[in-house]
Amino acid sequence: MLAHGDHPEWYGLPANPTIPVSVWVTKKLLKPVGLVALGGAVVATLGHFLRYGPKEPEAPQPEVTPTVNGPEGAVIGDHIVRHRLSTRVVHWSTAILFFALLLSGMPIWSPIFGWMAHAFGGLAVCRWLHPWLGLGFFVATMAMFFLWVKDMRMEKQDWGWLGPKALAYMRHTSEDPNVGKYNGGQKIFFYMVALLGLLLLLTGVVMWWPAWFAVPLAGLSGLSWVLHDAGFLLFAAAIVVHIYLGTAALPGTFRSMTRGTVSKTWAKLHHPRWYRETAGDSSREPAATDAAKK
């Protein structure tokens, strides 16, 4: 408490202090909405699995092959190399740093998650460690971006994922025979991760050193709090869906990031064009050919 609390200006403080709009938006709007969004993402994925179940080939799956470090697209027996070793290392480095950021940032974001701080040695350690983890995460995200960007070029049919095609895919009611190594949804998620990574870095830097930006860019600190929280919430909800699609919803996908390979039947079902390009199978089902002409 101040000795002369009725004169805060004597201490270099505002004479008539008010709560910034950014604080109200963060505490009164983003936090409750964010908690609902995160919980909703978990409930939605569970509901989807109970309603539609996993999407997997009808043909029997071949036995799991040993971990493969060959070039991507190489055919090894009944399997195709989908992710080489460097790709898997970058992916898991990014994933580990993301969850370290999540667990260290949640106690800072809300007291509800204060118990998570004990894993790092307390809240003070989280406040010190979180920005450094953020820098590491951004570096890993950029490495992933430049490693995969050639395969993530948006094609004409990919833009359909912004509309009904995504709903049809989630309902397991259609499969585009022209889907390459990555479908439109995966490409959109890829660019979203890159943009959110950049947003979280820029806003995090302002929050890390607010005094540097207080004078030349008044109000930037408050805006950064809002954008940082909003970006984090969108990222976290998207990751819930990403994990679900990579595990329970699409069996065989997770193995591509652990062993590096997928079965030919998996590739033919989920990425038909990529399967034809790698396995050299130019055959198409009549229904698929008709769908491609429409």
Which letter does DSSP use for residue 114 in this model? G
| Better pLDDT: 204 or 285 | 204
Per-residue pLDDT tens over the stretch 169-187: 888 877 778 889 999 999 9
Residue 257, classed as helix, strand or coil, is: coil
Residue 176 confidence (pLDDT): 78
Per-residue pLDDT tens over the stretch 18-74: 667 777 788 888 888 888 998 999 999 999 999 999 988 876 666 666 676 778 999
Taking the C-alpha atoms of residue 180 and residue 199, their distance in angstroms, rounded to an integer, is 29
Per-residue pLDDT tens over the stretch 187-244: 999 999 999 999 999 999 988 887 777 655 557 888 888 899 999 999 999 999 999 9
133 pLDDT more than 90: yes
121 pLDDT more than 50: yes
Measuring CA to CA, which residue among 291, 277, 293, 256 is closest to residue 79?
256
Residue 292 confidence (pLDDT): 38
Q: Where are the domains of the chain?
A: 72-293
Options 91, 118, 130, 242, the catalytic residue: 242
- Whether 130 is catalytic is no
Residue 291 confidence (pLDDT): 38
Strands annotated E in the chain: 75-76, 79-81, 261-263
**Residue 126, Cβ density class (10 Å: 0-12 exposed, 13-18 middle, ≥19 buried):** buried
Per-residue pLDDT tens over the stretch 3-20: 655 666 655 666 666 667
63: left (phi over 0), alpha (psi -120 to 50) or beta: beta
290 pLDDT more than 80: no
CA distances from 62 to 43, 56, 80 (A): 32, 13, 12
As a dihedral over the C-alpha atoms of residue 137, residue 143, residue 144, residue 145, rounded to 10 degrees, the angle is: 110
CATH superfamily of 72-293: Transmembrane di-heme cytochromes, Chain C (1.20.950.20)
267 pLDDT more than 50: yes
Taking the C-alpha atoms of residue 17 and residue 131, their distance in angstroms, rounded to an integer, is 29
163 pLDDT more than 90: no
Place of tokens 């450094």: 132
Q: What angle do CA 174, 179, 183 make, to 5 degrees?
A: 90
